Structure 1
């Protein structure tokens, strides 16, 4: 069973309903905790080589993202494939994966 289905199964087993607006806010909060770890461990970017992010925070963010995908009926693997293709195209066209915006 892939990660997205494991999250959906967890919701089903516990009778949770996906509420996209709540899940989007939860995802932002979890990513903020990762950013907090990064800021603190690198002394706000002064020492990037000392980056330390807690594995459980990464897991929380991944869980939140997959929950959001499920509640919006988005296949996470298809979304990831599309994103990689977009970045590959940008690299081929401009030599950089950034959006340029």
Structure 2
């Protein structure tokens, strides 16, 4: 199983010259992959008519999202672990202060 912190660097080295190398292109790739993941959720739930169950297509698309996210972090020069840790801290703080995790104001 790949270490997500190293995945972006490993893929970048392995496919050097064959991947987009700027933040904008990788962000667009990520948006596209998230769209593909959502299509799998829609299919798995029959457009919301049944409970979600993990499908092979969902697993594949989730893996694509993670790989492209790792590549985006690599090209941007940020640590996924640090970003996730900061978000977890922010969620804990919001929950302690407001009794909710999200940033809703109502």
Fold in common (TM above 0.5): yes
Secondary structure of 1:50's match?
coil
1:39-78 equivalences under 5 Å are: 39-47=42-50, 49-53=51-55, 54-78=58-82
- 1:4-61 deviation line (CA, Å, top 9, x unaligned): 31321221132135221111011011111111111121122222x2333521111100
Unaligned runs of 5+ in 1: none
Please report the TM-score for the alignment, with normalisation by the length of structure 1: 0.87
| 1:82 aligned to which of 63, 82, 86 | 86
Secondary structure of 2:47's match?
coil
User: Equivalents in 2 of 1:20, 1:66: separation in Å?
Assistant: 12
Please report the TM-score for the alignment, with normalisation by the length of structure 2: 0.83
User: Equivalents in 2 of 1:90, 1:26: separation in Å?
Assistant: 31
Aligned residues of 2:33 and 2:64 also touching (Cα < 8 A): yes
Aligned residues of 1:37 and 1:52 also touching (Cα < 8 A): no
Tell me the matched-pair count: 100
Aligned residues of 2:70 and 2:80 also touching (Cα < 8 A): yes
Unaligned runs of 5+ in 2: none
Matched, 1:26 2:29: yes
Q: Which residue of 1 aligns with 2:16?
A: 15
Structure with larger RCO (C-alpha < 8 A, sep 6+): 2
